[in-house]
Chains A and B, each alone.
Chain A
Amino acid sequence: MSTPALRVENVSKMYRLGEVGTGSLSHDLNRVWARLRGRPDPYAQVGAVNDRAGEGTRDFVWALRDIDFEVGQGEIVGIIGRNGAGKSTLLKLLSRVTAPTEGKIFINGRIASLLEVGTGFHQDLTGRENIFLNGAILGMNKQEIRARFEEIVEFSGCAKYIDTPVKRYSSGMHVRLAFAVAAHLETDILIVDEVLAVGDAEFQQKCLGKMKDLSTKGHRTVLFVSHNMAAVRQLCPHSILMNQGTVVNSGETTAIIEQYMTLGSAAEREVSWAADARPSGGALALNSVRVCDRNGSVETPLSSADDLFINIHFELAEAVANLRVGISVLNSEGVLLFLSSDFAAAKPGGTRSPGKHVSRVRLPGRMLIAGRYSLEVHIEIPRTQTLVDGVLCNFEIAEMAHDNWGPMLESRTPGVIHPELEWQTFMTSES
């Protein structure tokens, strides 16, 4: 086992919901009173699990609950999870922005975080001045920054503008400069949270490469939080999956990402709701979403060679104009494969009468490869109202395709999709 760089032990973090400030004085006094008597925090027991979907009935919520993990020196670890899973809270604890409510964190070496681009950049100062200021904020001293100044400027690609105030910089240049400073820090542990979202593709690749270098050559530890599964996959051999404030699993990134994509529900090709729990918006309520084969079955395995059908059953309480039903299909890596809607089929300005409806869409066979997919349903009135957004349904396609030579041997076709395309090969005089 390599030397640990970081150990998180039973860490929990409680937040107070609602308006902070009103009535907080009496809570504070209660707390102080409890502490004086040596009792535990009277509000610590009432915290609820962090489930944003459910209407919170309590004022206190555990953003993190009993987090426990360890990271070895020189590792790059991805932290993934849905919004509100507690990723950013965890990073805030690690970077000491806020303190845990319970538990301990052990750190070996200097830790620095790159939580948001250009933190601490002063708009009126030049790039040069900001490099020093930002470096100092991140914990470097002047000599360290001076020693690396050339490197930082070169990496950022802002050499020409280094004596221009950063308020004249483009947002891209901001990111570049900020990342350059952080990446050249003399730290042992680097925390990176969603910073790559702004830079262009080339710079993103450069950053990922740099982080990999830091780990392999510099033997630094990197914690990388992102919703960009491709980046996590590329960068991190190992990942931690978080959900509702707890660590669900950790291990090899590929497996963790697959688990993330199907989090909360197994491959369920049929989702339906009780009358009082239906996803609804405006006059519309969703009854069920089904992923069927050509016979309408939701049980039989789906073949990559055959068409599959998605049936979206909904009910309208009153007539609705311009209703648009759409889906998006994501693969197990979280890559959005495509969006589709009935917009083209529906008459513009057309009105749908009250009652039960079904929207049916055919996904042609020989397009999706074998694997797990997530389906999101969106129903909206364009430019007016989103009625239902992101209702999830999971399905799995098995490889049962036969080609001209019999069953295909490869268990998984490379690539994201595998559409059947028309090929012609013939002799020609053109060159």
Chain B
Amino acid sequence: MTETDRTATGQPAPQDNVQWTRVIQPQRGLFSVPLAEIWAYRDLLLLLVRRDFVALYKQTVLGPIWFIIQPVMMTIVFTIVFGNIANISTDGVPHTVFYLAGITMWTFFADAFTKTSETFIINANIFGKVYFPRVIVPLSVVLSGLLKFAVQFTILIGFVAYFAATTEIVRPNWAVLLLPLLLLMMGALGLSLGMIISALTTKYRDLRFLMQFGVQLLMYATPVIYPVSSLPDAYRVYILANPITPIVETFRYAFVGRGDFDLMHLAYSGGVILTLLILATVIFNQVEKNFMDTV
């Protein structure tokens, strides 16, 4: 070994002509996102998505059909409880397709949010052993969610097609072109909220309890089982303040033909999401490097 016996010089100045490829330091920039590194680990990202998909349904008989059963069952229950018993308005849209549309979009968000929020706790073991850009895990979760969404979306399309043919109300329109944007917004929102929560849970486990019912409550603050148009004016402001509302409403407007479609609302939502995304990056960066000491 060379120079191992040299004493501490006190001067961190490796002046010799060595090209160091990496320097590990205590502090890191607040906003730095290791994009190059994430790109270098893109195969890991895809493998994690694949793992989630494959491992989830190993040793199950029905396999990915479970993806479909879940929203369909929920739709049936919602139709009975909220549609038929509670008689909540669906804006004249057939109950089934109204709820299915809401559920499909909501599930994408809720999954992204809850699963991302567990990033550090669930992966503590592996994070404690190996380094890779931590953000890969939440990203893979959102991508897996997208895959699941794709499967559930085909079912929705089936229902939409059926009701478009049989009723006058269900009319998909040009707004379907906004779908990629809506998914991007929804994914980014779930990701940022989840990352914030996951970063905070490493120290303050209390948030996990909050998460358990928080998501459920959030669903009722989002127009999943009711349309915005049915809201009394007093509540409308609050529901519209929820950044998820415009996304769900736009989605429903595009595919079902009824919904509160307003570009300003959508822009507001985008602004909130962008702010949250920046905040999430900052917090996540802070926690990422040292979280193993506290988790």
Contact = CB atoms under 8 A, between A and B. Distances in A.
A7 interface: yes
Interface string B44-72: 10011011001100110000000000000
A138 B130 contact: yes
Contacts of B44: 133, 136-137
Count chain A CB atoms within 10 A of each CB in B4, B25, B40, B43 and give the residue with the most: B4
B51 A125 contact: yes
A92 B291 CA distance: 12
A94 B130 CA distance: 10
Interface stretch (A97-105, A209-217, A368-376, A385-393): A97-105
Interface in A14-43: 15-16, 20-21, 24-25, 28
Contacts of A71: 1, 4
Count chain B CB atoms within 10 A of each CB in A4, A66, A98 and give the residue with the most: A98
The dominant DSSP class at the A interface is: mixed
A250 B204 CA distance: 41
The dominant DSSP class at the B interface is: loop
Given A107-B20, A124-B55, A10 B8 contact: yes
B264 to A, nearest CB: 37
A99 B2 contact: no
Interface stretch (B10-18, B150-158, B240-248, B273-281): B10-18
Contact of A72 (B2, B12, B41, B290): B2
A100 B43 CA distance: 29
Given A92-B292, A115-B130, A125-B54, A69 B4 contact: yes
A66 B23 CA distance: 17
Interface in A357-375: none
A133 B20 contact: no
Count chain B CB atoms within 10 A of each CB in A25, A92, A136, A165 and give the residue with the most: A136
A141 B289 CA distance: 23
A424 interface: no
A318 B285 CA distance: 59
A115 B294 CA distance: 19
A138 B43 CA distance: 11
B59 A2 contact: no
A101 B18 contact: no
Nearest to B4: A250
A115 B127 CA distance: 11
B10 A10 contact: yes
Given A98-B292, A107-B23, A137 B130 contact: yes
Interface string B70-105: 000000000000000000000000000000000000
A70 B3 CA distance: 6
B254 to A, nearest CB: 37
A310 to B, nearest CB: 37
A224 interface: no
Contacts of A240: 1, 4
B54 A21 contact: no
Contacts of A94: 24
Nearest to B205: A21
B3 A1 contact: yes
B8 A95 contact: no
B46 to A, nearest CB: 8
Contacts of A15: 293
17 contacts: A9-B14, A21-B204, A75-B1, A97-B127, A97-B292, A100-B26, A105-B25, A106-B23, A107-B20, A107-B24, A136-B44, A137-B126, A141-B42, A165-B58, A238-B4, A251-B1, A251-B4
